[in-house]
Structure 1
C-alpha cells in the first residue's frame, strides 16, 4: 500500500493506492438489465417563476412589485425550445392550488393566514385544494383550471410529457376542497376529533388542545396584515407535516402543513392489510388485483382519487414529495391504480433512505427515486474538494440492480444551485459533474430551469436564503430571464459564456436521448488507470458504456487547476467484450466532434493518449 498526498479541487487529499484486482466484466455485463431504448430527460420548471419578466426582485415583494409567471407564458415557442434542449418530460412544479398571501375571495377562495404560510407566494407543498390549480398562475384566475388544461395540450403538442406534484404526506393547515368531484368529501370531514388516532381519520389529533402559532420570524417581514394576530384557529390541534406532535410546533417544523394519517398508529405499527411475501416480484396488475377487495384507510382512497383525476386530465406522471414518510403499501395501492389507467405513467418519488429504495421500487411500484444521497452527494463532495471521484464506481456497482430507477440531478428547487458558490462555484466547474451524472447510468436525467444558463440563485426573495432560487416568494430568475428575452425565448440577452453553456447542455442531453450505449452496459476503468497510469491526476474519472451498436469511453476532469496528459488504459477484459482485434481505432468526441484520438490495441490491451483541460470532459465513441 502506497500513501501519496495529492491535490483535488485545490485542497490536499490522501490517496491510498492498492493493487488492482482483475474483475469478471462479462459476469457484470450479463447481470446488467437493459431496460429501454431511450434515455429520459426531465426538465423541471418552477411554474410561478418561469415566465416572469419582472426584474425588480424586491425582498418580500408583491405580485405587483416583482411579477409572476403564468401558464400562458409557456408558449409554443418556449415549449419547442425546451424540447429542442433535449427534454422528453416537463415537470411543472407548484401547480396544485396551495396556500398563499393574496386576496382571491372574489372567486370563492378564502384568505390564508400569513402566520401559517411560508413567504408571500407560499410553499407549493402546502396544498390547499387538490382539485384545482394555483390562481396566481392564470391570466383569468376564475378559469385557472382551463388554462392549465390548455397548457397540458400545448406541452403534448410540443412532444413533451407532463409531470406535476402530489404531496400525500401533508396538506395545508387550512385545506378547503372547493372543487371536489361529486362524492368526494373533504379531508377531515368525517374525522372523530375526540381521539388522537383512528384508522379512517385523515389526520392525527392532539385532543382538547388548541393549535398555537410557532415562534417564527415576523410573517411577511413585519408588514401589517389583519390576520397577523398571533392566532390561528385549529381545534383540536393536528400533528404537523413533518410528524411533530406538539400543539405549538417549532419554527423549524413544517408548521404550515398537517400530517396525513395512512393507518400508521402512533406507535409505528400498521393498521391496514400488508402485501404478501413475494410481492416484490409481482406486476402492477397483480398489485392492483390484490387491493381490489381490501378495506383500506380513508386517506388512501382520497389520494388515489386525486391521482386518477389528474391522470384523466392528461397528466403523464407525478413527482411524489417526501414519499418515504408514507407507507409503501399505500404506494402499491395508488401506483397500481395509476398504471392501470395509464401503463406509461411516470412515477417519481422523493426518497432519501437507501435502505428503503428497493421497497419503494419493488413493493411501492415506483418507477424512479431521487439518487440524492449517493450519486448527487458524492459529486458535490468531489467538486468541493472533499472526496476523490473513485467512489463513484462503488456507488454504481452497489445499485447495479436498481440503477435505472435512480433519477440523477444536480439542481432542483430544494437544492443549492449547481453554479452557486456553495456548490460548484461556476457553471464551468459544473460541466464534468453533468457529464458524469448524465452518462454513468441508464437512469433518467433531470435539469432545473436556469441550470443550463448558469443560474446561481443569488437573489434575496424574502423567506429563505440565497443559493436556492426561492420557492416561497415572487422573484425573477436573472440568467433565465436573459434567455427568455422578453418572451421571445431565443437567448437574445445571454452573454456568450451563457450561450456556450446552454449549447453544451443541448449537445449533451440530445446525445444522451439518442445513445444506445447509455442505455446499455457500464464498467469503470478508473481503478486500472488510477493505480497504473502516470499523469492520471486525482481529479480524473473514467468509465465505459456500450451496447451492441455503440461503444463509448467517458473521461471527466473534476479539477479546475490542472491540465492532464496521460496514456489511458482500456483493460483486456473490455477489449475482449468489445471484440477488438489488435490495431488502431479512432475515438471521436461526441459533443463537439472536434477531438479525436487513436486507440491502439496491442496484445489484447488498449491505450490512448489523452490531454484533458481543467473542467473538460470527453465522450469518445469508437469507430
Structure 2
C-alpha cells in the first residue's frame, strides 16, 4: 500500500462524524498535480446488514470476519486535480471510508496519509429534541405529593421490622404514570419517557431498604407486579404494554433502564445458569460496586461466558418486541466492548433504530468512546451535572461537545437518581442548572428526573419512594416547557450546529454561541453559574457576529440592552440568571405559536424521516452509489406530495409504482400477496406503527408518516425474495382515541417467477390428502376450483365455473 501526504482528502483522514439517517456524506480527493487515472472511495457505507452478520457469526459460529461489507465506489472527476462523491446514509450504524487514487495503467493505489474517516449514523428521528423525562414508576404512588409516610406509621413499621415482618408500602403503577403522560409529553414537551428498572425486585431475601432496589433484578424479562394494579383482565406485562401504547400514541418513545452487569440475590439466573456468576477462589459470589461503594444487594455476572452474551441479546430483543424503543445500560462500561458489539448487532438486525444509552459515569472516557464507536451505542451520559463552576465547565464542555459531534450524543441530565436534588440547594439553582443543561445540549440531548419540574427536594432513593412534590404551586413547569419548545423549534438546537464558548473577563459565568450552519441562525447563551451573586457576563462581539446592542431573550421574551466597551460586550446577570439571546426578534413568533399547540411533533424530525425514506427508495433501485446532482430535499418534496408517483418515477424498468397497498381496517382479513421488488404501503386514517414479522422475528418496522390529506401511511421497502413462498404477518398498532388497537394480517411474499415451482406428478399417498384442489383461472375473474377427490364439496367456493363480477376488488364469486 502506497501513502502520500500530498493527496488531500476532505473530510480529512481520521475524522469522526456524527450524522443521521437521511443525510448524505460527500468525499473530495485532491491530487497534488493533474494526473490521469481514477479515484475511488473504499467504504462499508450501506452494508450494515453484512457487517452485523459477520459480528454475529464470529461469536455464534467461531467464524473470523472477512470484511465482506467493504467495497469500492467510483468517484466523479470534477476538474483535472479533484474527484468527488456524495453517498446516501440509509442505515443506522458505524461506518468507515477512505479515498484512493489509481493512476492510469497502474494497479497499486495511492492513499492519503492517515486512518479511515468514521461516520456514526443515528436514527432519523434523533436529529433534534432528544428530551428525556426520567420516571421512577414507584414514585407515582400515594407519596407522589408527599406526606404519605407519617411518623406514627414509621414507628409501627419499625416495630414490625424488629419482629421479622416484611412491610412494603404501596407503589406507583404503570396506570398511575399513564394518567400523567398528557402533562409530561404534552405540557412539559418531553419526547422520551425513560423508566428506572421495572423488573421484579427482592421483597424478603436480601432486600435492601423499604422497597428493595429495582437494580437488583430477579428476572430481566419479567415485570414487577408491584407496578401493576390487580386486574383480572390485564396481567402486569399487559399493563406495561398499555403504557407503551399510551406513550407511542403521543408520538413519544419509551426507554427502559436495564443493568445487565449484575442481578439481585436469588435471581432466576442463579438457578438456571449458576455458572454465569463471578466467584472468587473460595467460591464467594462477587458483589459489584463503584466510587468506593459496594452494592451489597447485587451479584456480578461473568461476561467471559459468550453464551451469556447470547442470552442477554435475546433479553433486549424481547423488550423491543414489546415495543420498547431504547435502553439505558446501567454501568455499561463494566461490560466488555466485544460483548456489547455482539448484543447491539443482534438487536439492530431486527430493530435497527433502537437507542442504546451508555451510563459510563465512573468509567474512562476512552472506554465510553470505544463503546459508542465499535459497539455502536447511540448516546452516553454527559457529566455536566457534576461540573458546577466556570473552570470546571470550561474544562469539561468542549470535550463533551466534541464527543456529540463525532461519536454519539452526550446527553446533559440536569438531575439523575444518583445525585442530590437541585432544589435542595435553592430554587434559583435548580432553575439555572435545568436551563444550562438544556441550552448547552447537542441535538437537544437533555434530560431530567421526575420532580425537577416541581422543585422536589427529597433525593431519589432507589430503595424507597421519596416525594416528587407533585402539584406544588411553586414550580418551573412553564419554564421547562419554554426550554423544550426552544429545543424543538429553533434551528440552533438542531443538527448541523456548531457550539463555541466565548466568555471573557472574570466572574462565574458562561457565554456559549450556537450557530446553525445551514440557516446561519445564531443564539448566544449567557449563564450566571452563581445562584447567590450578580456577575458581569462578557464576551467577544466579533466572534458572535451579533453586533446589535438590543437583543431578545427567547426564554422571557424581553428585550435586553447590551453594554459595549471596545470590542467586548457585557451584561449584568442576576443570580442564577440564564438568557437565550437572538438578534432576530421574529424568532419569538414560531415559539409562541408552537406553545399554543398540544403534543407538538417537531417539523425538523418529520423532514429528516421523509428524507430518509426517499433515500431508501432511491437505494432500492440504484443501490449505494454517487448521488451526483440529485437533491434529497427536492426528492423529499416530491415524495411528500405523492408517494406513489414518486416511486413510479424512480422505477427504471416500467411505468409501475410497484406498490401494494394495505388499508386499515378493511384489509385486516385479506391475505395480501406481495410480488418480488414491490413495496408495501400501509394506510390508515389515524397514526400507527407497523411491523412485518416472520413468527417472532421482526423483518421490518415503520412508524407512520402524515399524508397531505390528513391520513397516515408507512412504506416498507421490498424484501429480499426467497426461492419459495414466504408467509409473514403484518402486526399493526393503531392509536384510536381511548384505546390502541392491535391487529394482525397475513402477508405472502412471492418468489420470483423463475424460482416458482409447480408439482406436476402426484402418487397415491398424495391423493389421500383431502386438502388437494385443482384450480384453473382465465385471468378475467373466472375460475374452476374442485377437489382432486372429484364430486366432494367442502366450501362455497368449490365450483366448475365461478366468476367475480366486481371489476375493482376481489369479492365472493357468482357460481
Q: TM-score, normalised by structure 2?
A: 0.50
Look up the match of 1:118. Answer: 208
Q: Judge conservation of contact 2:385–2:415 (CA < 8 Å) in 1.
A: no
Q: 2:381 aligns with which of 367, 370, 385?
A: 370
Q: 1:470 aligns with which of 461, 464, 489?
A: 461
What is the SS of the residue equivalent to 1:333? Answer: helix
C-alpha offsets along residues 419-439 of structure 1, whole Å, 9 cap, x if unaligned?
22xxxx112123332222222
Note the C-alpha offset of 1:363: 1.3
C-alpha offsets along residues 65-108 of structure 1, whole Å, 9 cap, x if unaligned?
85321111123553444342121100111311222x2xxxxxxx
Aligned CA distance change for structure 1 residues 566 and 42 (closer, same or farther; 3 Å): closer
Q: Judge conservation of contact 2:169–2:211 (CA < 8 Å) in 1.
A: no
Cα distance in 2 between the residues matched to 1:345 and 1:90 = 14
Q: Judge conservation of contact 2:511–2:538 (CA < 8 Å) in 1.
A: no
Q: Judge conservation of contact 1:589–1:621 (CA < 8 Å) in 2.
A: yes
Look up the match of 2:441. Answer: 441
Q: 1:551 aligns with which of 486, 507, 522?
A: 522
Are 1:67 and 2:208 counterparts?
Answer: no
Q: Judge conservation of contact 1:57–1:476 (CA < 8 Å) in 2.
A: no
Judge which range, 441-450 or 394-403, deviates more.
Answer: 394-403
What is the SS of the residue equivalent to 1:298? Answer: helix
Look up the match of 1:241. Answer: 288
Look up the match of 2:219. Answer: 129
Aligned CA distance change for structure 1 residues 417 and 257 (closer, same or farther; 3 Å): same
C-alpha offsets along residues 167-209 of structure 1, whole Å, 9 cap, x if unaligned?
1110112012xxxxxxxxx555355xxxxxxxxx3122357x6
Q: 1:258 aligns with which of 295, 299, 303?
A: 299
Aligned CA distance change for structure 1 residues 478 and 440 (closer, same or farther; 3 Å): closer
Cα distance in 1 between the residues matched to 2:16 and 2:298 = 44
Cα distance in 2 between the residues matched to 1:543 and 1:516 = 15
Look up the match of 2:487. Answer: 512
Q: Which runs of 5+ in 2 are unaligned?
A: 1-11, 21-125, 585-815
Cα distance in 2 between the residues matched to 1:393 and 1:237 = 42
Alignment of 1:49-128 (within 5 A): 49-53=139-143, 55-58=147-150, 66-99=169-202, 101=203, 112-113=204-205, 116-128=206-218
Note the C-alpha offset of 1:336: 1.8
Aligned CA distance change for structure 1 residues 343 and 79 (closer, same or farther; 3 Å): farther
C-alpha offsets along residues 133-154 of structure 1, whole Å, 9 cap, x if unaligned?
1111111188211111111111
Cα distance in 2 between the residues matched to 1:65 and 1:118 = 12
Are 1:588 and 2:671 counterparts?
Answer: no
Look up the match of 1:616. Answer: 577
Note the C-alpha offset of 1:597: 3.6
C-alpha offsets along residues 563-592 of structure 1, whole Å, 9 cap, x if unaligned?
3456643235x42xxxx7xx7475211111
Note the C-alpha offset of 1:456: 1.0
Note the C-alpha offset of 1:512: 1.4
Q: Judge conservation of contact 2:550–2:559 (CA < 8 Å) in 1.
A: no
Note the C-alpha offset of 1:253: 2.5
Note the C-alpha offset of 1:545: 0.1
Aligned CA distance change for structure 1 residues 428 and 133 (closer, same or farther; 3 Å): same
Are 1:538 and 2:612 counterparts?
Answer: no
Aligned CA distance change for structure 1 residues 619 and 403 (closer, same or farther; 3 Å): farther
Cα distance in 1 between the residues matched to 2:168 and 2:285 = 36
Cα distance in 2 between the residues matched to 1:525 and 1:359 = 26
Q: Judge conservation of contact 1:589–1:620 (CA < 8 Å) in 2.
A: yes
Cα distance in 2 between the residues matched to 1:146 and 1:31 = 42
Are 1:522 and 2:596 counterparts?
Answer: no
Aligned CA distance change for structure 1 residues 262 and 37 (closer, same or farther; 3 Å): closer
Note the C-alpha offset of 1:370: 1.3
Cα distance in 1 between the residues matched to 2:407 and 2:550 = 30
Cα distance in 2 between the residues matched to 1:31 and 1:237 = 44
Cα distance in 2 between the residues matched to 1:620 and 1:90 = 29
Alignment of 1:602-613 (within 5 A): 608=569, 610-613=571-574
Note the C-alpha offset of 1:357: 1.7
Look up the match of 2:254. Answer: 162
What is the SS of the residue equivalent to 1:407? Answer: strand
Q: Judge conservation of contact 1:239–1:259 (CA < 8 Å) in 2.
A: yes
Aligned CA distance change for structure 1 residues 311 and 388 (closer, same or farther; 3 Å): closer
Larger Rg: 2
Q: 1:146 aligns with which of 222, 238, 256?
A: 238
C-alpha offsets along residues 491-520 of structure 1, whole Å, 9 cap, x if unaligned?
xxx22x32xx22211211221122221234
Judge which range, 76-85 or 426-435, deviates more.
Answer: 76-85
Q: Judge conservation of contact 1:517–1:546 (CA < 8 Å) in 2.
A: yes
Q: Judge conservation of contact 1:559–1:614 (CA < 8 Å) in 2.
A: yes
Q: Judge conservation of contact 2:216–2:264 (CA < 8 Å) in 1.
A: yes
Q: Judge conservation of contact 1:70–1:137 (CA < 8 Å) in 2.
A: yes
Cα distance in 2 between the residues matched to 1:165 and 1:65 = 23
Aligned CA distance change for structure 1 residues 32 and 479 (closer, same or farther; 3 Å): same
Q: 1:416 aligns with which of 397, 416, 420?
A: 420
Note the C-alpha offset of 1:37: 3.5
What is the SS of the residue equivalent to 1:331? Answer: helix
What count of residue pairs does the alignment treat as equivalent? 446
Q: Judge conservation of contact 1:52–1:476 (CA < 8 Å) in 2.
A: no
C-alpha offsets along residues 8-37 of structure 1, whole Å, 9 cap, x if unaligned?
xxxxxxxxxxxxxxxxxxx9xx99856564
Note the C-alpha offset of 1:255: 2.4
Q: 2:369 aligns with which of 358, 363, 369?
A: 358
Note the C-alpha offset of 1:402: 4.1
Q: Judge conservation of contact 1:171–1:241 (CA < 8 Å) in 2.
A: no
Look up the match of 1:189. Answer: 272
What is the SS of the residue equivalent to 2:255? Answer: strand
Look up the match of 2:682. Answer: none
Alignment of 1:329-408 (within 5 A): 329-352=338-361, 353-372=364-383, 375-379=384-388, 382=389, 387=391, 389-392=393-396, 394-396=398-400, 399=403, 401-402=405-406, 404-408=408-412
Note the C-alpha offset of 1:40: 0.4
Aligned CA distance change for structure 1 residues 141 and 131 (closer, same or farther; 3 Å): farther
Aligned CA distance change for structure 1 residues 34 and 238 (closer, same or farther; 3 Å): closer
Q: Judge conservation of contact 2:201–2:213 (CA < 8 Å) in 1.
A: yes
* Structure having the larger proportion of residues in strand: 2
Alignment of 1:572-587 (within 5 A): 572=543, 574-575=544-545, 584=548, 586-587=550-551
Q: TM-score, normalised by structure 1?
A: 0.65
Judge which range, 508-517 or 305-314, deviates more.
Answer: 508-517
Q: Judge conservation of contact 1:203–1:260 (CA < 8 Å) in 2.
A: yes
